[in-house]
Structure 1
């Protein structure tokens, strides 16, 4: 049985990221939200595109106003009004100024902008009441970015700021990594779909839906393959189908040591190389991870996840998420889970023999993280207590209790709630 750190390292070492040439596609900017950039982006434009004003005010020559004051204002002739989007028509000469608005192009001859609060207009002239700093409120051309330089690097997720940059750079098409395909299999004779009436002993297959959502949130394409009964031939056929069509396979159940747990022997018969067979983690001990070669010689990752809902999601958040992120082409520093230190609002307990993950809500109160333990007991089959989970408190091996108010490491699985 491997430690959590050992299992994480082994899993990540087994992941081969998508190929920068073979596993990419060109998409429209309008479809790029959440995608991972595959190629570096440059622009032919300077940012700003031209010298422009950062304030509403007056464009002047610094030498005309450098010594003025409220007692001895500089009196300048207004020769032009320049709104944003307007091409200036005149050059500012000695003793002149142009009325200018935020974002407007700076006219020739001007090198400084006087904010309107420091000026007093009188018909076609303006009195400058306070001496400015040189080049005040002027955004110089290329001061933000110079044309031809790297603009965005590959391996980043394209969210609102990056999409805005690409739009401003007139990059309407871009090359991104394709989304990893993740097949999802639920095993067990006791499972039924949510639309079926329950018979005694049956359980609704919630894992299929939870995992499909998890995969989509990770930027992958979920490929739900449904429920497979505990029949070796049927299960083998479904696993073979999954390997042929996906980059990652997630199956739930059938990885323990029960009489109806067939996953390991089927994977062995298919030539799987087992990397992880069990992990010293609670919940999630029977986690299996193996690698297989598909017909196209791709390396397929197979995760045999425990069937209990809490154990399924905990192992996904802790082990599967970094693997999918690395596979997807995301830059290295972004792969692992995010941990924060938080004050616990309740006493936390574990058996101490395995690294234990307790789910609940991570809150941010006046800049301090706090962890609120979920109610209802921490049973790996208690799906109801998982609702609204945003953090997993981590109790290392050997630590059996964390008193109220003490600091605990928390794995962040959602946005913390602001108290």
Structure 2
């Protein structure tokens, strides 16, 4: 089409390079056998796929040491090679949560620390060496949500998109969800159509660390803070993040 209208040159935007770092000495590589007190680093694989899907180039830098001075040096070196750095883990309040400690460092400009949401409350945004660092929860479900809500819009902006806000739609809740929460809760779910009406089916196995339903997630439905959740038939806000399969359900 460009050639047909005589455009020999067009402005383009370079794909952003996104650094990935995991924290925690408890992490094992995917091909390593499990050991007591250890878990495999599934977040790195998931984030790499989500970043590539959003148009970025994932750059894996390995794991961050649980020592603040060493971590700062490693982060500074990594930031020289990328446009954005995303970390997973180390943003809570444990003794060795290095990203939480980094948020209080005088060389860091803290943008936000902890978000009123579930899951993923410990999510942190900061500037270090004039580069943006998005520190996500190490919990897989919370990390998945954080990548969609915080990292994807940044990648869109880095690629020249001026409209980076998350698109919300309205759908009817197909099944009741009555678990109260003091903060807005973002539930993974699926979209379906029944007799021309859009429904959202919540994932009731909503533990943030549950991996089995991540691949089936098509959207996040938002349960407002307080109250007693939402009943089937009520209308809720939905943030789609994948093309729905539109399965016909009884």
Say whether the fold is shared (TM-score over 0.5): yes
Which structure would you say has the larger Rg?
Answer: 1
Q: 2:93: which partner in 1? A: 257
Deviation at 1:303, TM superposition (A): 0.9
Q: 1:340: which partner in 2? A: 169
- State the distance in 2 between where 1:233 and 1:271 align: 12
Deviation at 1:172, TM superposition (A): 5.2
- State the distance in 2 between where 1:365 and 1:385 align: 22
Cα 1:383–1:368 change in 2 (3 A) is same
Deviation at 1:338, TM superposition (A): 1.4
Q: 1:358–1:373: 8 Å Cα contact kept in structure 2? A: yes
Q: 1:384: which partner in 2? A: 212
The 5 Å alignment of 1:1-400 reads: 165-171=1-7, 173-266=9-102, 268-269=104-105, 271-293=107-129, 299-330=130-161, 332=162, 334-375=163-204, 377-400=205-228
Please list every run of at least 4 consecutive aligned residues from structure 1 whose deviation after the TM superposition is greater than 2 angstroms: 167-175, 227-238, 264-270, 349-352, 363-368
Matched, 1:408 2:244: no
Q: 1:360–1:386: 8 Å Cα contact kept in structure 2? A: no
Deviation at 1:367, TM superposition (A): 3.8
Q: Give the root-mean-square deviation of aligned CA atoms.
A: 1.9
- State the distance in 1 between where 2:93 and 2:137 align: 11
Q: 2:124–2:134: 8 Å Cα contact kept in structure 1? A: yes
Q: 1:81: which partner in 2? A: none
TM-score (norm 2): 0.91
Deviation at 1:194, TM superposition (A): 0.9
- State the distance in 1 between where 2:159 and 2:106 align: 25
Q: 1:88: which partner in 2? A: none
Deviation at 1:233, TM superposition (A): 4.2
Structure 2 residues without counterparts, runs of 5 or longer: none
